[in-house]
Amino acid sequence: MKYSLLGISFVGSALLLAIQYTEYGAILRDLVGWQVLEIGFNLLLIFPVVLFFSLLTFKLPDRLYQSWVDFAQLAIPLACFTVLLISFGFFYQPAPGSGGWLPSLNQIVNVFFIILTLFLFTLGSLIQIYRGYIHSSGGLVKLFGFLLGLGVAIPVITLYVLG
């Protein structure tokens, strides 16, 4: 299970980077259209977060890994479904004849809700790792420093990779 989750998240992250930073994104945009590519890109945003937590829990004791995997088996499909709803514009359907929102405002709403979804997945993952750690060793001081470091590192790395 460890290797399959790690492999799938690595492939998804590599595909995200390939679409973002190579000419494959332009080729796919011409083949399938910009809207379909944007939905696929938004769905792929979950994979770097899953890869990070897969790598983080890979060498940890099995109890910590299993605690996170039990959460991830429910949270990953739920996060993907939420991102899919956001990408389809489920949250801002304009009334007929109203002219709708500005397209740039729609993008801001999409980005906000996608970031919120990824943040909630990250927070839930950290809580599950914390719960597994507390049950296995009980050391709160080291864990607090670890979680504080992760809380700073995750946004910085995400902004660096995607920015």
Question: DSSP characters for 20-36?
Answer: HHSTHHHHHHHHH-HHH
Segment of 24-38, 61-75, 129-143 carrying the highest mean pLDDT: 61-75
**Cβ atoms 9, 58 nearer than 8 A:** no
Q: Residue 129: what pLDDT?
A: 82
Q: What are phi and psi of 145, to 5 degrees?
A: -65, -40
Q: Which of 45, 49, 52 is nearest to 111 (CA)?
A: 45
| Residues of the domain holding 123 | 2-162
- The residue among 93 and 59 whose pLDDT is bigger is 59
Q: Residue 47: what pLDDT?
A: 92
Could you tell me the pLDDT band of residue 98, with boundaries at 50, 70 and 90? very low
Residue 68 CB contacts under 8 Å (≥ 6 apart), including other chains: 53, 57, 125, 128, 129, 132
148 pLDDT more than 70: no
The whole-number average pLDDT for the span 121-130 is 85
Domain count, the chain: 1
The whole-chain average pLDDT of the chain stands at 78
**Cβ atoms 94, 102 nearer than 8 A:** no
Could you tell me the pLDDT band of residue 151, with boundaries at 50, 70 and 90? low
Q: Residue 5: what pLDDT?
A: 85
Per-residue pLDDT tens over the stretch 102-120: 556 667 777 888 888 888 8
The whole-number average pLDDT for the span 143-160 is 66
User: pTM of the full predicted structure?
Assistant: 0.71
The whole-number average pLDDT for the span 36-62 is 86
